[in-house]
Amino acid sequence: MSKLSPEQRQALLAEPAGPPPPGMVANLANPPSLHDAGHAIALVFWGVAFICIAIRLYTKTFIIKQLRISDYMMFMAWAVCIGYIAPSWLLGNLAPAVDQWNLTLQDFMTMLYYTYVLSMLGTTSGLAMDFSSSI
């Protein structure tokens, strides 16, 4: 891609990310997606996770009145999970349940970047949660 002129690069990035199957036509202008459902599901799960962490924090702080290292690791995992929200929300804005032939190559590359960031954050959060449960 480095040998392409800026105009050629933009033309390439505006093409579909993959060829449509036989009998299908790429719809790059307004592809069918599950945008609203994706955001609703994400909000529900983040809300449930927040309630669970809040209950644990309240119980350990005010009822048991003893925090262990596993509790601090769980809170660290929760903090990383909060950092997980932004890229996953951006990914949901980009292409939730959109077929590859209905994405531009530019959107597909952006989606791959967000997926990479999310995999790093998910691994970090998972390690912190695993460490907290093994203590």
43-80 pLDDT, tens digit per residue, is 998 899 899 999 999 999 999 999 998 888 888 888 88
Is 26 a domain residue?
Answer: no
Q: Is 10 helix (H, G, I), strand (E, B) or coil?
A: helix
Is 2 a domain residue?
Answer: no
Query: How many Å apart are CA 17 and CA 13, to the nearest integer?
Result: 8
Query: Which structural domain range is residue 122 located in?
Result: 36-134
Residue with tokens 């994706």: 38
Is 108 a domain residue?
Answer: yes
Q: Is 79 helix (H, G, I), strand (E, B) or coil?
A: helix
Is 31 a domain residue?
Answer: no
Tokens encoding 77: 């995992």
Is 4 a domain residue?
Answer: no
* Domain total of the chain: 1
Contact 117, 86 (CB under 8 A): no
Is 25 a domain residue?
Answer: no
74-118 pLDDT, tens digit per residue, is 888 888 888 888 888 888 888 788 999 999 999 999 999 999 988
What's the CA dihedral at 3, 99, 118, 129 to 10 degrees?
-150
Is 128 a domain residue?
Answer: yes
Is 7 a domain residue?
Answer: no
User: pTM of the full predicted structure?
Assistant: 0.75
Residue 54: CB atoms within 10 Å = 11
Grade residue 1 by pLDDT with cuts at 50, 70 and 90: low
